[in-house]
Homo-oligomer: A and B are copies of this chain.
Amino acid sequence: MKIDLKRAAAVLTEMDNILIIAHHYPDGDTLGSGFALCRGLRKMGKKANLACSHEIPHKYDYMWRDLPALDFTPENIVAVDTADTQLFGERLEKYADMVRLCIDHHGSNILYAEETLLDVTAAATAEVIFALLKEMGIEVDKDIADCLYTGIATDTGCFKYSNTTAKTHLIAAELIGLGADKDIINRLMFETKSRARIEIERHALNNMEFFLNGRCAVMFISLEMIEKSGADEGDLEGLSPLPREIEGVVVGITIREKGDNQYKISVRTGPEVNAAEVCRLFGGGGHPRASGCCLEGPFDEVKNALIEAVRQKIGAK
């Protein structure tokens, strides 16, 4: 059931012993939202922890290094920025049927939680958390502002993507006023490339393929490339926008090898094509301009199926 801000605030205020779930392959928004909420709940005297199936990339250390895990038995499960229980990942899938509250901004949210606070106009779930913390009367301190700014900045490509609104900028101004250390955060998120990252970017650019008269670009990230470059999960984040950024490209596809004949697909589109519609054809989903899905099969079949789907969407010959 979808609920409003006021109801969500009431639900959270009644809870204690809260486990906050961030999605697997965690990004800045699920972590920023989760840690901001965790910090806010602790300020209210509640016990709260954040859990994620995957290890948290080191670049996010600043969000939680002073936030020790508390010892308690979870009584209430709250998922943040997680549209589907499939995104809980292996370690946390046991909680799939037990989610009391979900806070999200994905239009593809399948409403798996008992109650869901969903704002699809928000550029990031962190925007929703900010409004929620205010509704609950929790003071947003510098540490919370850091987490929320991180969520918003990472989900908008630092205010570059089309999900950014005037409201997003107003919130950013407010968070900076509350002490968010935007310079350090932006430098960590957007201006610090490891040599491994540069290496894998170079490989990926070298292997880029173009289809449909240059309107579709496909970038492949193989396990071998990842191993050779020494890239970790943090290094790989933010690669998927690259193919779509090339002049003339309407649909950019990133195919990342996850295992034997297993691929994770990212689709980024210009306004001409709905990325979520493309991914829904393969059981995935997401946002209109940025979506994802998982595919199995030999690489060439996976690639061709994707290109064929794009061909039909853009009506190309």
Task: From B158, B162, B183, B195, give the contact of A247 (CB < 8 A).
Answer: B195
Contact pattern, A 150-189, Cβ under 8 Å of B = 1, otherwise 0: 0000000111111011110110111011000011001100
A169 and B173 contacting across the interface, CB-CB below 8 Å:
yes
In the assembled complex, A246 has its CB within 8 A of some CB on chain B: yes
Give the contact-size bracket for chain A: 35 or more
Q: Does A270 make an interface contact (CB < 8 A)?
A: yes
A211 smallest CB distance to B (angstroms): 15
Bound-state Cα–Cα, A241 to B159, Å: 18
Residues on B with C-beta less than 8 A from A170 are: 169-170, 173
Contact check, A193 vs B245: say whether CB atoms are below 8 A apart. yes
In the complex, per-residue mask of A211-250: 1 if CB is within 8 Å of any chain B CB, else 0: 0000000000000000000000000000001001111000
**Does any Cβ of B come within 8 Å of A191's Cβ?**
yes
Known: A170-B173, A173-B166. A191 touches B241 (CB 8 A): yes
Known: A166-B174, A170-B173, A191-B245. 16 other contacts (CB 8 A): A157-B158, A158-B159, A160-B190, A161-B186, A162-B182, A166-B177, A167-B173, A169-B169, A169-B170, A191-B241, A192-B246, A193-B245, A193-B246, A195-B246, A195-B247, A202-B202
Instruction: Give A contacts to B, CB under 8 Å.
Output: 157-162, 164-167, 169-170, 172-174, 176-177, 182-183, 186-187, 190-195, 198, 201-202, 205-206, 241, 244-247, 270-271
